[in-house]
Amino acid sequence: MRITLTVLTFSVLTLFIGCQQPKTETKETGFSQSDIEKVYKAAPEGVHTRWVSSENRKGEKGRGGMTNKGAKGDAFSMIGPGDTLVIFDQKGPGIITKIWAANSFGWNQENRRKVSINMYWDNAAKPAVSVPFTDFFGIGLGLMRPFENTFFSMPEGRSFNCSVPMPFRTAGKVEIVNESDDFLMFYYKINMVTLQKLDDDTLYFHAYWNRDMATTKGVDYAILPKVNGRGRYLGTNIGVIGNESYKGTWFGEGEVKIYLDGDEKFPTLVGTGTEDYIGTGWGQGEFDNRIQGSTVSNKEHDLYTFYRFHTYDPVYFHEDCKVTIQQIGNTNRENMVKLIENGADISAVWSYVHDDGYEAAKRYLDMDNPPKATDADFPGNMSNNFYRSDDVSATAYFYLDKPESGLPALPTLEVRTKHITDKVYRKLEELK
């Protein structure tokens, strides 16, 4: 009897304690790009694949390809002169995983920088991405070339592919703005996954484009002006139209500088030269690697486009970030003197003198009375760096902890297109 009572008392006590414990709730876990890359795993509950295109503009389940009795009725959309076409307008959470496009302005070079792509996250008033369409997809100067890297590709130089992950929490919108005088035939497909929740530390994708048609000598060009917040600088593609005053010289001695988290006068991260930043050396030919490449390298007309992405060598920031590149060229003394005689306003800021061993580097800006290239005792016969003024444009890609960056808006149509036809398209046509 005593044993039975003890067991009964223990059972009642256990039941009482169990009733007092809070119920365990199933925690809603987040989803990220890393989950997508685990190709062997099944999708969690609530994660679905959707494609948005002219054949299914809302990406709705079971409603793709419905026109023309299913026989390819709406493969493309038309965009009239001055019109804006919203090609993606979805509620979140979600992640855009790929964008593909092919369009008629690819055939008409003069229209390429007259069309732009804007992206908005979470109903923000200002776009996180606002870039000339062609420049956004990995090559500067509004050019198209076959290439492939980690995030962008143009398989045969006539289509556009982007695989940068673009997450959004409540809403995502992508629009195409046509500022040309022509109707555009626009094919597109945006692939995405819909989710129940993103990871709490998920950042928003941003892209910023700007152009300086005549950089100021001695002032670094801003690839990415200072942006405030927590994030990650993903990389850039840059286009350079060389100043004809320096024809026959090398443009790319400028070092990339990355200012992080309160850096002011000097950066935390600094490179050693333009071609070094994109992984090559002693000049810059044409190549396309996974995270670095030079898609156009035309010495005859001083036209260059190149890119660099930071994937396995990430650039994180916790407070702010600014990215610049110096405008510095190089030539020998004989050529420098000729350029000066022809009216070029240049002077050496540094020289390399091979025979001087450990004193081979001559740092003229550190000298009180530096020699001039025209002086009889000028030491730099072989290699001399000098400040340049060129036409430079760039797209900077980055992630930020907010859907708006506070950076300037996309420059005007005039800034985007001025001299591009004369200095780029026609000169490259001459070489065909």
Q: Where are the domains of the chain?
A: 31-202, 203-327+388-406+414-432, 331-387
pLDDT of 317 strictly over 70: yes
Residue range 121-133: average pLDDT?
98
pLDDT of 199 strictly over 80: yes
Q: For residue 430, what pLDDT is reported? A: 60
User: Is 203-327+388-406+414-432 the same fold as 31-202?
Assistant: yes
The CATH topology of domain 203-327+388-406+414-432 is Jelly Rolls (2.60.120)
Q: For residue 326, what pLDDT is reported? A: 97
Residue range 303-314: average pLDDT?
98
pLDDT digits (tens, 9 = 90+) for 233-266: 999 999 999 999 999 999 999 999 999 999 999 9
Confidence of residue 1 (pLDDT cuts 50, 70, 90): very low
pLDDT digits (tens, 9 = 90+) for 150-176: 999 999 999 999 999 999 999 999 999
Confidence of residue 385 (pLDDT cuts 50, 70, 90): very high
| H-helix or E-strand spanning residue 173 | strand 171-178
For tokens 């050693």, the residue is 272
Confidence of residue 28 (pLDDT cuts 50, 70, 90): low
Query: Residue 12: which residues within 8 A CB-CB, separation 6 or more?
Result: none
Residue range 347-360: average pLDDT?
95
User: Over pLDDT 90: what percentage of the chain?
Assistant: 84
pLDDT of 18 strictly over 60: no
Residue range 409-417: average pLDDT?
97
pLDDT of 382 strictly over 80: yes
Dihedral of the alpha carbons of 410, 145, 399, 273, in degrees to the nearest 10: -100
Query: Residue 322: which residues within 8 A CB-CB, separation 6 or more?
Result: 222, 224, 225, 226, 227, 258, 259, 263, 267
One CATH from 2.60.40.2130, 2.60.120.1390, 3.10.520.10, 2.60.120.620 for 31-202 = 2.60.120.1390
Confidence of residue 29 (pLDDT cuts 50, 70, 90): low
CA–CA distance, 157 with 343 (Å, rounded to integer)? 40
Q: For residue 2, what pLDDT is reported? A: 45
Q: For residue 108, what pLDDT is reported? A: 85
Buried b (16+ CB within 10 A) or exposed e, 175-208: bbbbbbebebbbbbbbbbbbbebbeeebbbbbbb
Q: For residue 31, what pLDDT is reported? A: 81
